[in-house]
Amino acid sequence: MFLFRRLLMATGIAACGLPAGCGHALPQLPGFDAAAWRADPYACRDQRRVAVPVLVRNKERLYEARANDVTALLGPPDEEELRAGTEKVYYYYLEPGTQCEARHARSGAACLSLRFGPIGTVTEVLSDPLASQTP
């Protein structure tokens, strides 16, 4: 059984290396200003807040996207967490907080988190509600 699983895993990983690859390229997100998002690392200029509704509306388009395509769209993550195996989570802050201080300490500010599975594609998209956007 163990050998069978390893064979399946190796076959899946090898298939991801083919030109078609695993996952998909990110489509355009209508109304999303990627350049403004990338120009506001750690959300310290408070420019990302405007883009949150667009991202939340289009979050289904992020599923199955490859990590390098997410980075091309959103820029490098503000924080990255490596999980067991080959899973990882990218965090993008949505509002200013203590992460804006000199050492970029982890903050409790609202953030967008993207979880990547073992084959390097988005498996989960979570966003914290922004306090200023709740009634």
Q: Where along the chain do its domains lie?
A: 24-133
pTM, rounded to two decimals: 0.77
Map tokens 């300490």 to a residue.
105
pLDDT digits (tens, 9 = 90+) for 18-73: 434 565 677 688 899 999 999 999 999 999 999 999 988 999 999 999 999 999 99
pLDDT digits (tens, 9 = 90+) for 66-95: 999 999 999 999 999 998 888 999 999 999
